[in-house]
Structure 1
Amino acid sequence: MDGDEKVKKIIYFCMIHDISALCGSGSLVRNINGNEIDFTPYVLKSLESMEIGIKAPEVNNEK
């Protein structure tokens, strides 16, 4: 086993919009029925298609 086979694929991401952010992390490889499945293309496609549509609440500073 060479060094590359020991490396785990993990993704870290932050999607930033104005003052809001969505961050996360997780493994890109899953063991399903004894087979290692690489989900990299699916995760990257999902992240590319995401949008943050959060509207920050307005603050009323009037007294």
Structure 2
Amino acid sequence: MEDASLTFKTISCAFTVHNALGHGFLEKVYENALRIELENAGFHVQPQAPISVTYAGKVV
């Protein structure tokens, strides 16, 4: 799948969640809803996957 298509599908899922839930919930609610929407769209999702970030040669 092309990057533009992946981007479009991802943003569409985010807008679907936003339109359905509106604003005012805790971040975790939106995270869970977006995970469901992305999985329904055929994506494999790893919520809050650990990453390593370095700054000036040191892990932050």
Q: Same fold (TM over 0.5)?
A: no
- The structure with the largest strand share of the pair is 1
Pairwise TM-score range, normalised by the shorter structure: under 0.3
Q: Normalising to structure 2: TM-score of the pair?
A: 0.24
- The structure with the largest helix share of the pair is 2
